[in-house]
Structure 1
């Protein structure tokens, strides 16, 4: 596995029982086809499948953790997932978005950064939790991270239950799955700010 200094992997965060419960729940979540051009003005073919779990009309600023904690029983596993992720981080955060995304064959990811303002990126963190039931190397779907010279600094296979923690908002992309992949590539995404430690 290729990992840059700002990308960390946690394959041991969840128990086997919890991982199975999370993946089973995410499998039945209904996905919506989103044209990201309408919101992010990226390019007209920037489309993917997603389901908004906790979000706000004031992106990047409002704390959506209360919405996450208020999810009904059917999505309580997402709240539990967030609590385990947050406990692993070891620093205070403000969550501003949680969603489930999916790639199918033909839905190409777009190389992007989550934050427009460059001076804010150092305190930004994205956590990816891969939620497909199984994964095969022939199915592709890797997550790639890039440096300022557009060289690959990290490459991660979407293994079930794997957690990726990316700090500093590096350029990244979730690559499309291959033609022979029988499933979609589901990823639970948490986006948040790293807050200063209380003195």
Structure 2
């Protein structure tokens, strides 16, 4: 079995997302992320300003109470203010402009689970 065969279940998911949300997008990477308490990610962009692209983020935990936190947080371009926060929910999918600054807040101390996400990063060439 090739290493890519183990991940082939993602191909139909990506095909549906591409068809529904971003027909002109080219997939440039798929990333699995995991966080525990005190592992706050840095504020970052998936695409640089002026580089068109979208990110599809899927929350992968089967159980995630609101009290565990772990929000996906979006910032204005100077990174001075929060413009939106999205709580993890099992199976929730977020599609967003990859040039918007964002980060993942760490789970609460009371959380005994790994906060798991899959991120599909794209570029759109005009």
For residues 46-125 of structure 1, the aligned pairs below 5 Å read 71-72=4-5, 74-116=6-48, 118-120=49-51, 123-125=52-54
| Structure 1 vs Structure 2 CA RMSD | 1.7
What is the match of residue 157 of structure 1? 87
Greater Rg over alpha carbons, structure: 1
**Structure (1/2) with the larger helix percentage:** 1
Aligned equivalents of 2:114, 2:50: Cα separation in 1: 35
Contact 1:91 1:194 (C-alpha < 8 Å) held by counterparts: no
Q: Which moved more, 1:106-115 or 1:134-143?
A: 106-115
| Secondary structure at 1:119 match in 2 | coil
Bigger relative contact order (CA 8 A; separation at least 6): 2
Aligned length: 123
Unaligned ranges ≥5, structure 1? 1-69
C-alpha separation in 1, matches of 2:19 and 2:60: 20
Structure 1 residues 75 and 175, CA gap change in structure 2 (3 angstroms): same
Which segments of 5 or more consecutive residues in structure 2 lack a partner in the other structure? none
Offset, 1:112 = 1.0
Shift of 1:186: 0.6
**Pairwise CA distance, 1:115:** 3.2
Inter-partner Cα distance in structure 2 for 1:192 and 1:115: 8
The TM-score normalised by the length of structure 2 is 0.88
Structure 2 Cα separation of the partners of residues 177 and 141 of structure 1: 4
5 Å-filtered alignment, 1:123-142, equals 123-142=52-71
